[in-house]
Structure 1
Amino acid sequence: MNKFILTSILSISLAISATALASDSPEDRIKAAGFELPKPVKPIANYVTWRRSGNTLYLSGHGACEGKSVLGKVGDTLNIDEAYEAAQRVGLCALATIKLAVGDLSKVKQVLQITGMVNATPTFTGHSKVINGFSDLFVTAFGDDGKAARAAVGMSGLPGNMSVEVSAVIELIE
């Protein structure tokens, strides 16, 4: 009998927790994970940071917002952990851009594609581990809908010597 009561209480607790999690907004989940959205960036050249077509949002290549890009080459001046954190900063900037574009992160239906570029030495092979910083943040915000088709590639250099740049394609709720 006690086992039945314990199982019932556990089931009810899990159901309540799942309901509470489902009612949290992406911004609530980001904040609960210890992150804060920065101010979105403004373009510094002849492009826009986002473009919308119907219910698809395209994000230009992003570094970190507010001049907080981590600079350097992964495998030389930066290690994987530092580059993972750089990719998280890029993810926060991308989330800020999404919010600017559509007003509310809850309007994201799913993340369709992520293209991550890592400024790395020719012998560095952990590009996926670096871009996980971005992907993990998007899963924190959007759950399984934050998982996307993805490329993580190495580059001989990125603008301004930033260590990570990421572009993304997002499907919005109509």
Structure 2
Amino acid sequence: MSVYDKLKQLGITLPPVATPAAAYVPFVRTGNLVFISGHTAKRDGKPWVGQLGKTMTTEEGKTAARSVAIDLMGTLHAAVGDLNNVRRIVKVMSLVNSSPDFTEHHLVTNGASELLGQLFGDRGAHARSAFGVAQIPTGSCVEIELIAEVG
């Protein structure tokens, strides 16, 4: 089953590439690697504002991370033209806007990692880092960047 069939099965429509909010580009391809710039969580087209451990639960954060992964797939599609050409999701780095005592950053980030696994199967298994941070641009609750290998 193609990645696009899986997206359709999950009821996911890929968004267009967002216009960068500062002095950077949405992605850079060098050789067989594509580096996708950090994407922040959005809900209804606006920043998904919140702080894990203070104003948001782990489950809400996981849902936000999944939404970021969908946006990342839209950008990756724009970068490579066909998601079926993705050989491997290599690395995910997740920043979680969290209170000092919040310790479930890894569970929040699973929202993105699990979707990548659903879409790409074994090719979606990736190395990962998940960090708690004091703030993310626009007050967003989660920001995620991604590295993919393409054919």
1:144 equivalenced with 2:125 (yes/no): no
Post-superposition offset of 1:71: 1.0
Unmatched tracts of structure 2, length 5 or more: none
Matched, 1:127 2:105: yes
Find the counterpart in structure 2 of residue 18 from structure 1: none
Aligned to 1:82: 60
Residue in 1 that maps onto 2:27: 50
User: Whose RCO is larger (CA < 8 A, sep 6+)?
Assistant: 2
Instruction: Report percent identity of matched pairs.
Output: 37
Q: Count how many residue pairs are aligned between Structure 1 and Structure 2.
A: 150
Partner of residue 140, structure 2 = 162
In structure 2, the partner of 1:73 is: 51
The aligned amino acid for 1:79 is T
CA shift digits 1:83-106 (9 cap, x unpaired): 111001100000000001111110
The secondary structure found in structure 1 opposite 2:54 is: coil
- Please tell me the root mean square deviation across aligned C-alpha atoms, in Å: 1.2
Q: Which amino acid aligns with 2:114?
A: D
- Which residue number in structure 2 is paired with residue 32 of structure 1? 9
Deviates more, 1:122-131 or 1:62-71: 62-71
1:41 aligns with 2:41: no
Q: 1:133 to 1:68 in 2, by over 3 A?
A: farther
Q: Say whether residues 1:108 and 2:86 are aligned partners.
A: yes
Inter-partner Cα distance in structure 1 for 2:118 and 2:4: 10
Q: 1:62 and 2:47 equivalent?
A: no
The Cα of 1:37 is off from its aligned counterpart by: 1.4
Q: Deviations for 1:29-82, whole angstroms, at most 9, x for unmatched residues?
A: 122123221222111110001000011000111114673442110111110111
Which letter maps to 2:95? M
Question: Contact (CA 8 Å) 2:17, 2:26: kept in 1 or not?
Answer: no
What 5-or-longer segments of structure 1 have no aligned partner? 1-23
Moved over 4 A (4+): none
Bigger radius of gyration among the two: 1
More helix by share: 1
SS for the counterpart of 2:111 is: helix
